[in-house]
Amino acid sequence: MPAQEWQAEAVVNGVMVGNILVKLVVDELRYPGRLVNVPEQSAQERESSEMCAYARLQSLQGRHVLHCYGGFSFKMPWGNTVTGVLLEDLTGQSETLPGFIKRKLDQLQSVEQIDPLVRACFDLVHRVQAAGITAARLWADDFRVLEGSLVQTPFLCLSEFSVSSPTEEYEAFWLDFADPELGGPWQMSDEQTMLETLQSQFGDVLDDWWRGVLKEDAAYLHWSQHVLRVQEGACS
């Protein structure tokens, strides 16, 4: 996650009303674009991307994504610009996806056992895409598992959009730079990084899950639909 996060008390009219998460985006923490031809973004560009995402995802705030209370940007006396966003603080009400998996690992040993959690991750990605945002880079720590979740009924919240794009912009990028040999719909990008993220958590069991989807439920993922089309083309 290319940011520092700080807990702070929110005070309204002199009264402390709760905690918020102050997300400080700084250039020193930026990382190279994960996709070919995607340039590095400045801190201000990442803050702008995040604010755009939360504006489009307003209907999902408080359930599938964090509440966003606004952005900030100011210049320090020595010239550096500080920028970031103010977000809902779920400390004590959630845990990271890797933390949840580690705690429940004995219940996540088979394809059948991981299926609800894996699908919850993809369902969340699809909701965000349907609302007009492509996350582009998804890391396991970007997903929060909410308090009260069970392995069979997990509730997830996505908390990172500083390198996201409006879907129409990303679709244009995809058409310009996607490998013509691979082709496929732009939605594959988020699905592919989601598969990589989950594979890092579940290993071979995730591979078995993916093969099952390809065989029995290919319509669930754009990626699997594309794989089948490529296979059919190779056989024709």
pLDDT, tens digit, for every residue of 28-38?
544 444 433 34
CATH of domain 4-88: 3.30.200
Spell out the CATH class of 94-235: mainly alpha
pLDDT in tens, 161-218: 888 888 888 878 777 665 555 556 777 778 888 988 999 999 999 999 988 988 888 7
pLDDT given for residue 99 in this prediction: 96
Cβ(1)–Cβ(142) below 8 Å: yes
216: which residues sit within 8 A by CB, 6+ positions away?
A: none
pLDDT given for residue 29 in this prediction: 47
pLDDT given for residue 94 in this prediction: 95
pLDDT given for residue 38 in this prediction: 43
For the chain, which residues make up each domain, given as ranges? 4-88, 94-235
Positions of the chain with pLDDT under 70? 1-3, 17, 26-41, 43, 136, 176-184, 226-236
